[in-house]
Amino acid sequence: MQLTFLGTGGGAPTRSRNVAAIALTLPERGELYLLDCGEGTQQQCLRAPSVRLSQLSRVFITHLHGDHVFGLVGLLASRALAQGGTSPVALYGPAALEPYVRGILQSTGTYFGYPVTYHTVRPGVVFEDAQIVVECASVRHRCDAYAYAVQEKPQAGRFDVDAAKALNIPSGPVYGRLKRGETVTLGDGRVIDGRSLVGADRPGRRIVYSGDTAYCAEMVTLARDADLLVHESTFAESERDLAGRAHHSTASDAANVAKEAGVRQLVLTHVSPRYDADGGVGLDTLLSEARTVFADTEVAYDFLRIEVPRREAGEHSPDDE
């Protein structure tokens, strides 16, 4: 799992930050998920070498404020032309997402050229297959808004090759059967239980994205034990009253969610232009306020890439210790 931050600003773009969009690459599946799609996201994709829109399979929209959705129709409309995308794309979001997209298509005579499906989300599981579960939770903003969690299902434990060699088990297809936990009869008559050579299942990775929200218990629950929490941090503490009126979070709000949820890492995004207008002035304040509460915090910037490593069996969040 790899995240590429395509837009990390809030409200309006600046010279250094586009508005909200994150690409989640799933290389084992050859797929790309998009979390929000603010204006200009398709241009950001062209500048991100690891992002291939031809692999786009799902788009998860948190809410319909323009800085999170104005880039969606343009990106989908030019996907087939720009990067050869012909495979289906599923759109997930609030109930207003489908009429919003269909209205633009009808009024502009636009046609995507590949199948697009619409899925209205409600709190709980919104997508699941044999490997991935995506959940959402309703959060506190000025409109119908959701946060998303992308969770891998547990992975098979590691196959102990050294132990297999010590038992003089010949390499080859039999290793694959043993790794799957099968019981195998060898040519010399020995019966080997594959489960004895495979470690415990490894927990799947969990990535959580807040979208726009004030601090709320629903975010803490959704982010529980996440490997990575990407949380909006529109304001510093000096603007707490404004954050409250706008239903946004401060950096310390995001850090409190991370601490209470026991996540491994926090990345702040959706930074107000007031902190970034002069090349980063004020970002140190956001980072300091968050790290006072939760040490493993970073502030995202456009084109930041984060690889989320797997946990080994029995490995817990640092806050569990």
**Catalytic machinery residues:** 67
Q: Which residues pair with 31 in a beta bridge?
A: 26
Residue ranges with strand state E in the chain: 2-7, 21-26, 31-35, 56-60, 89-93, 116-120, 124-128, 132-138, 146-152, 183-185, 191-193, 206-209, 228-232, 266-269, 297-299, 305-307
Q: What's the rounded Cα separation, in Å, for the pair 108 and 106?
A: 6
SS3 state at 126? strand
Q: What's the rounded Cα separation, in Å, for the pair 123 and 201?
A: 28
SS3 state at 69? helix
On whether the CB atoms of residues 246 and 142 are closer than 8 A, the answer is yes
Q: Which residues of 22-32 are buried (b: 16+ CB within 10 A; e: fewer)?
A: bbbbbeeeeeb
Residue count of the chain: 321
